[in-house]
C-alpha cells in the first residue's frame, strides 16, 4: 500500500473511533431515541467549533464559541432534542443559534427550522455552515428571541437554549395547540431546571426534566 493510502486508512479509523465514542457518550447519558441518534450521527459537530477547540468537538463537553458564548454539550443537545418529540412535519423555533449545531440537528428531524440569536456574527457564521451542509430547511435570523418570531408563528415545537427565570410569555403564546416547548429556567448563574411545557386541551402542562447549566437569555441585540 502507498504511504498516502495508509495515512487515509489511519484517518478513517480515527474518525470511526471518534464517532463510536461520541454515540456511546450520548447513549450512556440517556439519549436512546434512534431518530435522534441518527440525526446526531449525520451532523459533524467539528464543523461548528473553530480554532483551538475544534479538536475536542467529538468529546461530550460544552466548548467556547465566538461572542463569549458556548456550544452545548452533545448529550444535552440529544436529551433536549429527544424531549421535544419532533414530528417530520413540524415547524420548530430555536432561541439561541450559537454555533448552529443544535439547529442543524433539529433540521434532520423537522420540516422547517427557524433559529434566532442576538449576535449577528453568530447568525452569519452558522448560516455559512448550514449553506455548506446544504441544509435548505433552516433559517437563521438576528433577533431578541424573548419575543419569539411573531411573523412565522405559531410553532409546533420551541427550544430555548439560553436560561430565563420564567418561560417568556410571547414564546408560550406562539406555541400551537398540542405544541411542546423545552427550555432551561432558573437564575442565570445557578444550575437551572430543564422543563417541558405542553399546550394541552386543559391548558399548559409543566414537567421538570433534569438540572442543566446554560448561558442566560439576555435582552436586546449584541454589538457584533
- Residue 29 CB partners (closer than 8 Å, separation 6+): 60, 75, 78, 79
Closest CA to 37 of 19, 50, 49, 56: 19
Minimum gap (Å) between residue 179 Cβ and ligand SAH: 19
Q: Around 154, how many Cα atoms within 13 Å sit in the side-chain half-sphere?
A: 12
The answer to the question of residue 96 lying near ligand SAH (CB under 6 A) is yes
Using the rule CB under 6 A, give the single segment among 33-41, 118-126, 188-196, 202-210 that binds ligand SAH: 118-126
List the one residue from 118, 157, 199, 213 that touches ligand SAH (CB under 6 A). 118
The answer to the question of residue 84 lying near ligand SAH (CB under 6 A) is no
The answer to the question of residue 70 lying near ligand SAH (CB under 6 A) is yes
Minimum gap (Å) between residue 53 Cβ and ligand SAH: 12
The answer to the question of residue 192 lying near ligand SAH (CB under 6 A) is no
Closest CA to 141 of 181, 90, 103: 103
To the query of whether residue 146 is one of the catalytic residues in this protein, the response is no
The answer to the question of residue 141 lying near ligand SAH (CB under 6 A) is no
**At 1, is the secondary structure helix, strand, or coil?**
coil
The answer to the question of residue 86 lying near ligand SAH (CB under 6 A) is no
> From the candidates 28, 72, 75, 188, which is the catalytic residue?
72
The answer to the question of residue 44 lying near ligand SAH (CB under 6 A) is no
For residue 25, CA distances in Å to 42, 73, 79, 115, 140 come to 16, 11, 12, 26, 29
List the one residue from 40, 109, 116, 181 that touches ligand SAH (CB under 6 A). 116
List the one residue from 22, 58, 114, 119 that touches ligand SAH (CB under 6 A). 119
The answer to the question of residue 184 lying near ligand SAH (CB under 6 A) is no
Q: Is residue 187 exposed (0-12), middle (13-18) or buried (19+ Cβ within 10 Å)?
A: exposed
Minimum gap (Å) between residue 165 Cβ and ligand SAH: 13
Across the chain, where does the E strand assignment appear?
63-64, 70-71, 91-95, 112-117, 138-142, 155-160, 175-185, 192-200, 203-212
Task: Give yes or no for a contact between 87 and 130, defined as CB atoms under 8 angstroms apart.
Answer: no
Residues near ligand SAH, by CB under 6 A: 69-72, 95-96, 98-99, 101-102, 116-119, 122, 144-146, 161-162, 215, 217-218
Residues noted as catalytic: 72
Amino acid at each position: 500500500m502507498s504511504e498516502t493510502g495508509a495515512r487515509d486508512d489511519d484517518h478513517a479509523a480515527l474518525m470511526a473511533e471518534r464517532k463510536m465514542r461520541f454515540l456511546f457518550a450520548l447513549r450512556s447519558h440517556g439519549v436512546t431515541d434512534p431518530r435522534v441518534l441518527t440525526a446526531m450521527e449525520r451532523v459533524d459537530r467539528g464543523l461548528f467549533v473553530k480554532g483551538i477547540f475544534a479538536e475536542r468537538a467529538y468529546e461530550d463537553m460544552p466548548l467556547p464559541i465566538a461572542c463569549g458564548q458556548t456550544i452545548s454539550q452533545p448529550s444535552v443537545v440529544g436529551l433536549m432534542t429527544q424531549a421535544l418529540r419532533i414530528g417530520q412535519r413540524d415547524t420548530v423555533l430555536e432561541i439561541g443559534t450559537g454555533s448552529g449545531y443544535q439547529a442543524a440537528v433539529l433540521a434532520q428531524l423537522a420540516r422547517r427550522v427557524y433559529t434566532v440569536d442576538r449576535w449577528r456574527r453568530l447568525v452569519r457564521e452558522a448560516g455559512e455552515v448550514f449553506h455548506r451542509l446544504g441544509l435548505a430547511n433552516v433559517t437563521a435570523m438576528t433577533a431578541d428571541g424573548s419575543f419569539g418570531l411573531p411573523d412565522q408563528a405559531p410553532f409546533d415545537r420551541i427550544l430555548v437554549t439560553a436560561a430565563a427565570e420564567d418561560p417568556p410569555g410571547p414564546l408560550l403564546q406562539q406555541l400551537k395547540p398540542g405544541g411542546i416547548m423545552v427550555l432551561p429556567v432558573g437564575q442565570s448563574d445557578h444550575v437551572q431546571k430543564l422543563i417541558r411545557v405542553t399546550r394541552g386541551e386543559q391548558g399548559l402542562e409543566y414537567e421538570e426534566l433534569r438540572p442543566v447549566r446554560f448561558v442566560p437569555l439576555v435582552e436586546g441585540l449584541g454589538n457584533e
